[in-house]
Amino acid sequence: TGQYPKADLVFLTSTAANTAPSEKVRIQSGGGISFNGDTAAANALDDYEEGTWTPTISDGTNNATMTASTYGTYTKVGDMVYLSALVETSSLGSVSGGLRINGLPFTTNSTANYRAAASLGYTRGLATTAGVSIAGTVDNGVARIDLSLRDLTSGVTAMLGTEWTADGLAILSLAYKV
């Protein structure tokens, strides 16, 4: 059990004879990986994770019953989370108010400027007017996606439980900061 000096591990490359090598990758002794000569600790890749999450349709009090097809996956790189999900209900139960998708794998950054928008690329089984699209927004400091309808020329209204049917389905993607 000796002591070892703390030093970064650096990978260098050279493209031509008699030229100084350039740094390509650095594994920092304090943790993290940096690239192309950037040694700033704030820019180091110091976190990477992949996993699953369980999305649930809710009105904030009551949860809908989700089908076995419901799933969510995510990749976290540094302080950014990239996720996708298929959300499908088999029963709404007592869900009635403004809808949300609960269960994001990480709470969003609580700084006011870190809001995000989810893309609901495919939906079916909804009780909305033809031509109305669904928007998903993530406020700062929460672990949910609030659903709304782009049904006004001046903006959106909250999507209600009456506008999602017992067999409703949405496929979505989202990137947000933690």
Calpha distance 150→130 (Å, rounded): 11
Per-residue pLDDT, 1: 52
DSSP character string of 144-166: EEEEEEEEETTEEEEPBGGGEEE
Q: Report pTM.
A: 0.81
State the residue for tokens 């009105």. Answer: 59
Strands 80-91 and 65-66: antiparallel
Q: Which residue has the higher pLDDT, 131 or 107?
A: 107
CA angle 164, 177, 88 (to 5 degrees): 20
Per-residue pLDDT, 13: 84
- pLDDT tens per residue, range 24-67: 887 887 777 877 877 777 777 778 999 999 999 999 999 999 99
Contact 129, 163 (CB under 8 A): no
